Structure 1
Amino acid sequence: MADPIPAPHRTATDFFSDPLDSHPLWFKPALFLSPEFDSESYISDLRTFVPFDTLRSELQSYLASLNHELIDLINRDYADFVNLSTKLVDVDSAVVRMRAPLVELREKIEQFRGSVQNSLVALTNGLKQRSEANEAREVLELLLDTFHVVSKVEKLIQELPSVPADWLNGDVNLAEKNFITNGTSLQHVENGTNLRDTQSMLLERIASEMNRLKFYIAHAQNLPFIENMEKRIQSASLLLDASLGHCFVDGLEHRDANAIYNCLRAYAAIDNTRSAEELFRTTIVTPLIQNIIPHRTSLAATRPSGDDLENDYEQIKLCIDNNCKFLLEISFEENSGLHVFDFLANSILKEVLSAIKKGKPGAFSPGRPTEFLKNYKSSLDFLAHLEGYCPSRSAVCKFRAEAVYIEFMKQWNFGVYFSLRFQEIAGALDSVLVAASLVPVDNVHSDQGNSPDLTLKQSVTLLECLESCWREDVAVLSCADKFLRLSLQLLSRYSSWLSSGLAARKKGSTDSIPGREWAISAVPDDFIYIIHDIDFLYKRVCGDFLEHVLKLLSSCPADVLDLVKPSILQGGNLLNDLVPLVINTIVEALVKKSNEGVEQLKGITATYRMTNKPRPVRHSPYVAAVVRPLKAFWEGERATKYLTSDTKHEVLLSAATEITGHYYETADNVISMARRTASSLQRIRQGAQRRGGASSDVSDQNVSDTDKISMQIFLDIQEYGRNLAALGVDVANIETFRSLWQSVAPAERQSEISF
């Protein structure tokens, strides 16, 4: 027994506790046992994504593991392996004895297999012959059925009047024709059966046979027999179409419901609904519509040249009710199978569209927006009237999906319409906003009670433009989003006009930009108009205007309305946010005028410096000039008429606060300068007295110039405070006034402000 080759010492797992005999996912040892395994193709496939060294290493590792397993197997059964050679005695003779019956069995199996194979071939051939025979029989039966149907159709057509040429030429008065009929037709007439009913029922029968014939021809195409019968089939089809059209027209003219019903069923059977719709259009609808809307080339001199459609639609509605309703009721009859017809779209609407294009082409022109929109709304009303004949919602959907309906709606070019409306509305506002000055309206000075309307032409135009966007003769639901955007643009344009003008006034220059000059030339009272108009516009936009828009858009989904409402409110708030800026502009103008009076306070120093004037006992005249602008504003007609009390008080308090601040700064500078001057003079006077040996005592009974100046300013601010209090301003709450009071008031009166 040979010693087994020792396998290399390997642990069961590697450092990371993974089994060492595990292989990569791309290495599959099971493929080596496949009968179709090819080493070259296997290696070439793996080398596309596995390096050659890695592949060789893996194969060597797998070979070592196989050798190791082989050695383990030999060692496990080594005793049986050694004894195997001693037990194999006379193996060759045993093999010969077993081979003979096996060979014989193989021969018998081969013979049986050949017999079965021959039987299978014979059976397959027989089934194939049977299948071919069945196919041939089916084709033959199909051809026979086709021949029988063609013959039957020709026989049934022979029962119709034998003058198809007259029918093709358009003769439709069957009651006045002498027909050559066979015995069957004569029997119907003799029995009193209505001729149209008989013809229509016969035509329906022929149509059903023609439908069968079409089915047979579709399954027997390219056969010589069918090709030979093609002329007969076409002739029968033409005769059927002519006869059916003649009978249908005759039934329409006599309003024979039974004949019309049978003819429609015949048209539906041969899938020729367009012919019925076209016949009804040309025979019944066209003459009616042309009497209402004649072609432009045939207009008489007495015919007005207007393109208004409202009256025409009213006449068309009456004509439909009187002359077309009977057919519509038949075609919409429940369970009649006539739902395949659409006389509303392909007969009535088609003819109306054609008549408008030829007789009134200007009706579709958006060049005249008002007439265009009026015609559009009249057209929608007409379409709604037509939809009223539909018995169900599905019928309405089918009507709207027709090509004629879609073409009719495409005639209304709302892109051009909105562009014209945009230029008209936006241009009107822009033309007044570029004016060099504010333009009061004509009735701005009239007595309008406690709630006057807008005062400026610019504001009036804005409101008119906003309302124009949603007027009944302007707005259209299909362009609602565009008109909403235009409304917001108008509000933004007006707000931008105001804000840019106020900025230019504060800067003192327009920078040569048109539309800002008004702010430079405007007086404070003009801004009162602006505040009033902004408040009026804000309430109108966020009130009646918003409700009107939401009412017009009430048919829109709730989520759409949830977007429309905040957008309009935001536009209104954009206006309202400008009120503080306008108020500041008025305040600045008032402060500027009042400060001119405050500057006169500096003259008090010259009045009492180096003079022997007695102590002041009354206020200075300049105080009236300081308060005069505020008083004029408060008592002015415009502020009283156009501003609310809260706004007036806000303006007055803001102006008074700023004026008082400037008053305090000026007074403080005057008093400080007087004290410094008095101190300097006192030092000079004391030095002179010391040099002359005179006494340096100064009598306490003498009042200095600084004290006189302070006393005068105190009297002035008392008058100033009284005037402000008369206007409703609580000066005690103004911090700068308290500081001013404390700086000039006597010691005994500094704790309390009183006038």
Structure 2
Amino acid sequence: FSALQRKTHPDDFDVDQFVAECRKQVQLEEMREDLELYYKLLKTAMVELINKDYADFVNLSTNLVGMDKALNQLSVPLGQLREEVMSLRSYVSEVIQAIDNQLSKQEDLQKKKVCVLRLIQVVRSVEKIEKILHSQNSKESNSLEISSPLLAGQILERIATEFNQLQFHAVQSKGMPLLDKVRPRIAGITSMLQQSLEGLLIEGLQTTNVDMVRHCLRTYATIDKTKDAEALVGQVLVKPYMDQVIVEETVKSSPGGLQLMYSQLLDFVPHHCKLLKDVTGGAISSAKADTVPGYDFLVNSVWPEITKGIEERLAFLFNPGNPDLFYERYSATMDFVRRFERQCSSQASVKRLRLHSSYTSFHNKWNLPVYFQLRYKEIAGHLENALSDGLEAAPAGSVFHLQVSEVLWSCLVKCWSDKVYLSPLAHRFWKLTMQLYSRYATFLEEVLTKTPSTEVTKEPTRPLPSSASSTSSRTSMDEGGSESGSPASLSTKQLVYIAADIQKLQELIPELSTMVQQRLETIGFKNFTVSDALGDSKACLSSSVPTLNNRMTQHLTERCCRFLKSASEVPRLYRRTNKDLPVRASAYMDNALRPLHQLLTDSSGCNFTEFCIFQLVFRYFETISEVLSSVRKMEESLKRLKQARKGASTATASGSNGGPSDDTKIRLQLALDVEYLGEQIQKMGLQPCDITMFSTLMELVREARELAE
């Protein structure tokens, strides 16, 4: 019902829309009942309202009697008042407009007055300057002696002061007809003043007259022509000297010709610019009260002429075709630039020099990227050539074992050496250092993963010689015989050399870090820790160590076990051969252990040796177990055969002389071999008791020996 009241109040009430919306909420019957109730409520409220104000409704017509006459009486005075107000408003507007017109005229007159005063000042300044010049000329014509330079400087300074005011008023009066008439006279004064200043400055510099130069420079500053004075000094004083010193023949005449030329250029400032530095406050001894500020002759006069002369007459200096010669020229030039900067009077002067366009242009002439490309090709090419040669041995006296490691270290040192490194290319040489380490690590990874090992092309297992105790049987194969015949395979010595060189390179990283740190600190990298940055390179080298360890242990194990398999040939040597009892180890033991002894001789390969011995003992245990098992089976078979043939001869079991049986000799020989293995393990610096499988192996042969006895 309350919603019904809210929806029926708007002025734009629509019956159809109202019914459509209400049907969504209530039924039509319920809506009709609500409307009837609402109608009754409105009707009751209307009756109450009429009853409440009934007296006013009844008296409404009575109270309005005579109202039209009263309104007519008021209309006449109100109309008169309106006309008076409109008239007053029009008068005030006219007065305001008249005042605005008068103010505009007054403002125009004021502007014209200012322009006239400026023009008057221009004319007065021109006349005053011309009067001074006329009086000076008349004095010079009447005098028998030439006026003193100091007097001329003071007069020019007065003229410059007046000329400065003339220029100010002339700029403010631009576009005035009278100014166009006076302009030729102003141009004549300007030309005369500049000629006089130039002549006076040149005379002062030639005669080293401090007061004359001071007055002249102060006059230039007064008329805001300091750039003209600096340009004049560059043309008159600096350029002739540079033409004499910057000569191509002088530079090419001797190896130190370039340094000699730079020394002569540096001598120019103290010998020829001392007067200017004293006057402008560039010298320490110059008095502050007598200095003329606003000049920097070293930056704006001397330096542009130096760079211009070098760029025009010595263009061959910038040629990077010969890196060594380019380095010498660039280093000598940058040393000259630093010494020239030290001749500047202040830090502000040095900053102005470095921001000067000729300074930037001169540095851009040196094609440092091309120089680095040549050095990159030289250094990286040297390493690539060494990589293409493979794992060749390093020259005698080297701290490395492989030639490629020696070349890598020499390349790393060369990047930061005095004859190669340039500070603007520090970031490029740092990147090259990282690339050299990465290339070396990639090479090692390729060698260790792609190069076939020696055990891939194994030689067939050699049978034992006819006599196990023969001295000649103990002669081992040489290095080439112990390795594979494949030229692409890796030898034990090469694997050891790789491990030793990796360790040596990691030990030398602090030395390289110190070298790089010193270089970077000179160019402002104080908080940059090189050792931390080289940690990635160290990790890159270490990434090859696990592969190297696996390759080394696998390689040594295969080489050793290749000969240990000869233990399976021991029964063949003693069965039906009527040999004596063995008293020493078999020859194959020396050949099997020789790679480990050689590893210890070549380097400190204790880690490899210990792991290889573990593998060797384990596989040797398997071989011995198989041999003893075979011997036991053969012995049992012979016993059964003997029982089957009671009348047969027993020579096959006891030998022709009735001594120890063949099985006894076999067990004794294997026991001697295992004991010899334990002795050799001790000689290698290890304890057999620390090897678990060796104790099991000893127990196995001990039981076999007891059976033999």
Q: 2:65 aligns with which of 75, 89, 92?
A: 89
Q: Which residue of 2 aligns with 1:473?
A: 419
CA contact under 8 A between 1:492 and 1:574: conserved in structure 2?
A: yes
Q: CA RMSD in A?
A: 4.0
* 1:448-497: CA deviation from partner (whole Å, max 9, x where unpaired): xxxx6334432222222111111122212221111111111112222222
CA contact under 8 A between 1:366 and 1:416: conserved in structure 2?
A: yes
CA contact under 8 A between 2:376 and 2:432: conserved in structure 1?
A: yes
**Consecutive unaligned residues in structure 2, runs of 5 or more:** 12-16, 22-41, 283-287, 457-484
Q: Which residue of 1 aligns with 2:684?
A: 727
* 1:273-329: CA deviation from partner (whole Å, max 9, x where unpaired): 2221121112111122222113x5xx59x9728795322111111121111122123
1:491 aligns with 2:434: no
For residues 243 and 678 of structure 1, do their structure 2 counterparts lie closer, same or farther at Cα, with a shift above 3 Å needed? same
**2:641 and 2:626 mapped to 1: Cα distance?**
23
Q: Which residue of 1 aligns with 2:177?
A: 224
**2:193 and 2:99 mapped to 1: Cα distance?**
50
1:669 aligns with 2:626: yes
User: Equivalent residues in 2 for 1:471-550 (5 A)?
Assistant: 471-506=417-452, 520=488, 523-542=491-510, 544-550=511-517
User: Equivalent residues in 2 for 1:43-54 (5 A)?
Assistant: none
CA contact under 8 A between 1:265 and 1:337: conserved in structure 2?
A: no
Q: Which residue of 2 aligns with 1:35?
A: none
* 1:527-575: CA deviation from partner (whole Å, max 9, x where unpaired): 4444443333322222x2211211121145567513x332223323433
**1:486 and 1:329 mapped to 2: Cα distance?**
50
User: Equivalent residues in 2 for 1:102-113 (5 A)?
Assistant: 102-113=78-89
CA contact under 8 A between 1:466 and 1:487: conserved in structure 2?
A: yes
Residue 350 of structure 1, CA deviation: 0.8
CA contact under 8 A between 1:594 and 1:629: conserved in structure 2?
A: yes
**1:413 and 1:337 mapped to 2: Cα distance?**
41
1:460 aligns with 2:400: no
Instruction: Read off the aligned partner of 1:466 and give its amino acid letter.
Output: L
Q: Which residue of 2 aligns with 1:605?
A: 571
**1:601 and 1:203 mapped to 2: Cα distance?**
118
CA contact under 8 A between 1:608 and 1:709: conserved in structure 2?
A: yes
Residue 729 of structure 1, CA deviation: 2.0
CA contact under 8 A between 1:159 and 1:185: conserved in structure 2?
A: no
CA contact under 8 A between 1:268 and 1:340: conserved in structure 2?
A: yes
Which TM-score applies when normalising by structure 1? Answer: 0.75
SS in 1 for 2:451: helix
User: Equivalent residues in 2 for 1:558-637 (5 A)?
Assistant: 561-562=528-529, 564-579=530-545, 581-582=547-548, 584-609=550-575, 618-634=584-600, 636=601
**2:424 and 2:363 mapped to 1: Cα distance?**
12
SS in 2 for 1:241: helix
**1:654 and 1:157 mapped to 2: Cα distance?**
108
SS in 2 for 1:728: coil
Q: Which residue of 2 aligns with 1:3?
A: none
For residues 81 and 387 of structure 1, do their structure 2 counterparts lie closer, same or farther at Cα, with a shift above 3 Å needed? farther
Residue 78 of structure 1, CA deviation: 5.4
User: Equivalent residues in 2 for 1:300-699 (5 A)?
Assistant: 304=253, 309-332=258-281, 334=288, 338-441=292-395, 443-444=396-397, 453-506=399-452, 520=488, 523-542=491-510, 544-556=511-523, 561-562=528-529, 564-579=530-545, 581-582=547-548, 584-609=550-575, 618-634=584-600, 636=601, 639=602, 643=603, 647-678=604-635, 688=644
* 1:649-687: CA deviation from partner (whole Å, max 9, x where unpaired): 22321232222222122222223334445555666666x
For residues 133 and 577 of structure 1, do their structure 2 counterparts lie closer, same or farther at Cα, with a shift above 3 Å needed? same
CA contact under 8 A between 2:454 and 2:489: conserved in structure 1?
A: no
**2:329 and 2:61 mapped to 1: Cα distance?**
114
For residues 140 and 737 of structure 1, do their structure 2 counterparts lie closer, same or farther at Cα, with a shift above 3 Å needed? same
Residue 603 of structure 1, CA deviation: 0.8
Q: 1:142 aligns with which of 106, 118, 139?
A: 118
Residue 352 of structure 1, CA deviation: 0.8
Residue 217 of structure 1, CA deviation: 2.5
For residues 423 and 308 of structure 1, do their structure 2 counterparts lie closer, same or farther at Cα, with a shift above 3 Å needed? farther
**2:627 and 2:231 mapped to 1: Cα distance?**
104
CA contact under 8 A between 2:496 and 2:605: conserved in structure 1?
A: no
CA contact under 8 A between 2:296 and 2:349: conserved in structure 1?
A: no
Residue 608 of structure 1, CA deviation: 4.5
CA contact under 8 A between 1:332 and 1:390: conserved in structure 2?
A: no
Q: Which has the higher helix share?
A: 2
SS in 1 for 2:421: coil
Residue 580 of structure 1, CA deviation: 5.3
* 1:169-197: CA deviation from partner (whole Å, max 9, x where unpaired): xxxxxxxxxxxx3238978x98x9x7222
For residues 518 and 186 of structure 1, do their structure 2 counterparts lie closer, same or farther at Cα, with a shift above 3 Å needed? farther
CA contact under 8 A between 1:308 and 1:371: conserved in structure 2?
A: no
SS in 2 for 1:537: helix
Instruction: Read off the aligned partner of 1:99 and give its amino acid letter.
Output: S
1:9 aligns with 2:39: no
| Between 316-325 and 196-205, the greater mean CA deviation after superposition | 196-205
* 1:177-228: CA deviation from partner (whole Å, max 9, x where unpaired): xxxx3238978x98x9x72222222222322333222222322222222222
SS in 2 for 1:471: coil
Q: 1:280 aligns with which of 227, 233, 236?
A: 233
CA contact under 8 A between 2:218 and 2:292: conserved in structure 1?
A: yes
1:124 aligns with 2:100: yes
User: Equivalent residues in 2 for 1:34-45 (5 A)?
Assistant: none
Q: Which residue of 2 aligns with 1:43?
A: none
Q: Which residue of 2 aligns with 1:62?
A: none
Q: 2:109 aligns with which of 121, 133, 140?
A: 133
**2:181 and 2:593 mapped to 1: Cα distance?**
117
CA contact under 8 A between 1:502 and 1:519: conserved in structure 2?
A: no
Instruction: Read off the aligned partner of 1:477 and give its amino acid letter.
Output: S
Instruction: Read off the aligned partner of 1:601 and give its amino acid letter.
Output: A
**1:315 and 1:127 mapped to 2: Cα distance?**
72
| Between 111-120 and 621-630, the greater mean CA deviation after superposition | 621-630
Residue 125 of structure 1, CA deviation: 0.9
Residue 400 of structure 1, CA deviation: 1.7
CA contact under 8 A between 2:452 and 2:489: conserved in structure 1?
A: no
| Between 124-133 and 565-574, the greater mean CA deviation after superposition | 565-574
Instruction: Read off the aligned partner of 1:9 and give its amino acid letter.
Output: L
**1:465 and 1:620 mapped to 2: Cα distance?**
51
SS in 1 for 2:366: coil
Q: Which residue of 1 aligns with 2:139?
A: 183
For residues 474 and 81 of structure 1, do their structure 2 counterparts lie closer, same or farther at Cα, with a shift above 3 Å needed? farther
**2:75 and 2:662 mapped to 1: Cα distance?**
157
For residues 256 and 620 of structure 1, do their structure 2 counterparts lie closer, same or farther at Cα, with a shift above 3 Å needed? same
**1:403 and 1:222 mapped to 2: Cα distance?**
36
Residue 7 of structure 1, CA deviation: 8.9
Aligned identity (percent) is 27
**Consecutive unaligned residues in structure 1, runs of 5 or more:** 1-5, 13-19, 24-28, 30-52, 58-67, 161-180, 445-451, 511-516, 751-755
For residues 9 and 526 of structure 1, do their structure 2 counterparts lie closer, same or farther at Cα, with a shift above 3 Å needed? closer
Q: Which residue of 2 aligns with 1:205?
A: 158
CA contact under 8 A between 2:520 and 2:526: conserved in structure 1?
A: no
**2:236 and 2:362 mapped to 1: Cα distance?**
22
SS in 2 for 1:309: helix
